[in-house]
Structure 1
Amino acid sequence: MSIHTSFDPSLVDDNDIKIQEVEVLKSIYYEDFIKEDDDLYRIRIKVEVPDHFEIRIKRQQHQEEEVAEQSTSTTTTLTTDPINSSSSSSSSSSCQDECYPIICLPNVTLGFEYPKDYPSSPPTLMISCCWLSLEEMNQVLEYLNTSLWEEGESVIFRYIEWIKSSMVSFIAKERQQNVDCCIYLSNVPIDFGSPLNEFVSWDHQEGWTSPTSSLPLLLAHNTHESKRVFAQEPHCCPICYIDDDGTKFELFKCGHFICKACLCHMLTVNIDSGSINSIKCTEPCCGAAIEQHLVSKYVSQEHMERYNGQMKKTQGFVACTRCKGWAKVDPNTRSTFCGTCYYSMCMLCTKTWHPGVTCNYEAIQSDRSTDVAQRPRPCPGCSVLIWKFDGCNKVHCVMCDKLFCWLCLQVISGYEHFETTCILFEIPGQRPRFVQTRHDGNVTGICPCSRCGAKVYQYSQNNHVLCFQCKGAIFAVKELLPFSQQDSTIGSVHGFMERPTILGKIEL
């Protein structure tokens, strides 16, 4: 005898509906489905974000007030039409924010507890998230309980799908007046004593005070997920133009990419040529530096050592002459210090550092018989040896950027020193035969000094004249040109204006 049974939906009790829904949710979400108690469950939900989505952070309040004051003062002096004023206000608002492009956000956890008479009564909902404030999470729960709940129906799956696909846009529109492309992280400290904590929970780490504190975690999560999504799609290398799977490419921090073969070749060529500054993103107008861990991933150990050496030099290090390690350069003392062997080296003479003592050079003797122009002299500022072959006695050191007198090695600022102490164009040990003094004698000629352009007067037909302006320039006159009495201001003038020609140094 066979027994036939028929299924009557009215005979299905509420407990069977809950069991069926739990089994369906468990099969769909699997690892993200967590059972806390007999009727208490949690599901981790991966939310979707709109295209060109951004996380933004506002400046501090005092900075906004300063910008507002500047904006107010500007609008009181300028007249703008409504369109330009609106666009200017929008631009100013965006300039005040820190913007971070985001393609993936950390999970949102939805907790729910079934009542005994479910689905006649709604489930008790709980939500937790690290990048939303308590108020924003409470708004989400209110929307689920009021807009999506329908008596007599299983609604948990509907709740999950809405959080997954529409919650980000919902929060963005609530905060930004129907703008769903960005969310502002709140910098208001979380109130852990708020009554909202009964149903909403802020996922936080030690030391966090507000949703703004979660920004480093959001950026790290976004970078990791960006690479995972990138690897799932095919791409075309912008260098070799070969299409391949995403796993054959390397994605940079700036968002650009090249294939691994081109990256390896580019790194090797630039390290071999010493052009480590060219190790950067190949996209035009980008130029972002390539991360060091990528360099070590795609070059040999030998190339990595050369790369590290070149990087050390750009960071102010030089190779230690004693242990072959890296010594830090001190630009103030012109010396190096090795943290491995504790050796200090003088950058000027490449010997052991000698503070307070000039580098190894022959001291200038009092004997003036040797031409000083052929002997080096130390700079009074940095002790660098300087050779002077021509020109005046005012010397400029290119190492420490100091001006000093070549004769007495005194640091100077201009030409005033040569008007009272030393002679501008004289070499020590040499004196002119003829020393001319200023006097109101019989002026027989006038000419411009070929060095400084000052007027030089000839007295009593004497062709050995001295310029009193640059003090020490000796001239010998060869040509005679007519001149008028208006060109002279000393005595009675008659004769010719003389064009001087330097004949050279006059020996004693």
Structure 2
Amino acid sequence: MATAADDERTEELETLQSIYPELVLDEPFAAHIELLVAPTTPLSITFEPAQEVHKVAYLPPLRLKIDLPIEYPAEAPPNVELAASPSWLPSGTVDKLVKEAHSLWEEYSGGQMLFAYISYLQEAAETTFGLSELTLPNSLKDELLQYSKRMKRELFDKETFDCEVCLEPKKGSVCYRMERCSHVFCVQCLQDYLNNCISEGDVNNVKCMSADCGKPMPNGKKKERLLSPKELLQIPLSLQAVERFAKIKRKKKIEADPTIIYCPRSWCQGAMRTDKYPKIKDVREMDDSDSEAEEEVETTSEEEQASGPEKRRVGTSGMDRLAVCEDCTLAFCKVCLASWHGDFVRCEPRDKNQLTEEDQASLNYIMRNTSPCPTCSVPCQKSFGCNHMTCFQCKSHFCYLCGAWLPPENPYGHFGNPKNKGCYNRLMDMVEGDMGNGEAQFGGARGAEQIADFWEQEAMRIQNELNAQDS
């Protein structure tokens, strides 16, 4: 025969189940529930004996078992059991949480208190039950870290986000959250943008697309970190694209470093081996520390550039002159660029004007068909559009026709100033680019090459006419 106490216990458990659908009724007056442990601040866990410290955002759930005795709630508190699998919660903390159930029952003076107790446990879970750090055996490391990663992905997949590029609401299952800044984009937008940057060689823009992203610098600009190969693979981008990104990024850093010497073999011309830029073997094995080390190198080079370009050292002596090509493994001298001759041989720097035939042909083409940036001297060639150029590398504004630096706040004023006779009203000259209608008069170094080339051809034409008359 059912008693009033039975009805009261049944009513409380059924009400509790309507609030927490995940509550499972085991017996008429017993139930269990698993409570999510997601602290607002990731918990620092030290795994012994390796003393590895990890920030863990999600911990295995706290399993609460409830058994309501016949005397509950008027004369006796509920029987509760708390456990976590694996057992990561200290036993002293578990005992404290269990005793809180009895304290709440006394506070409610024999009234129903299960909802208050579960709410208390949920609030305590947000601060990891008062724990600021935790020390656990190394045997639990993999299981806890994998659980945290899995839960983070599962909860993210269930949410809905507005992609900051296409501005459409997307489920988390088709989105990606950036690791450092937590900005969210749909995977399709990320892949389209990043693949385009990598295919065009614009590796300096392989970063978060949010306008709010970046660390403010004293000069008013923002320092934006490039994405690591590891994160690009997680988005995911193809292995081939990530390898291209890593190689181009490394190549740009090597080319910008004046201390790097290149192999003297004309068929090789690989860079010297250096610990500063280790050769990439497998991008899947590169971790975030590799990217951070590269960023430190980049910051140092920027500071060096601010104080002026560093000249190559030619007064190197002894074994410091030895360099080894990373491609063909040739050992050569940094000073005279001959095969390694030992550290006691006196040698002189090779004349920089001694260029190979291929180098000279390449240099001639660059001087005739490109306009150098006035700031960093990188050669630029226009494919289409107006003659206001922005340097691909240093972002300086300049005129494609005369090579003059343009103020960023008003770059088009240069083409509307009658004093600039060579560029006045010529903003849209060669709108189809060099290859489209490339016949135009240039100024600056390119203009000088253009004039010299014209008179060279004219001299050859006159000579040929004289030879024809003599014959």
TM-score normalised to structure 1 length: 0.41
TM-score computed with the length of structure 2 as normaliser: 0.44
Q: Which has the higher helix share?
A: 2
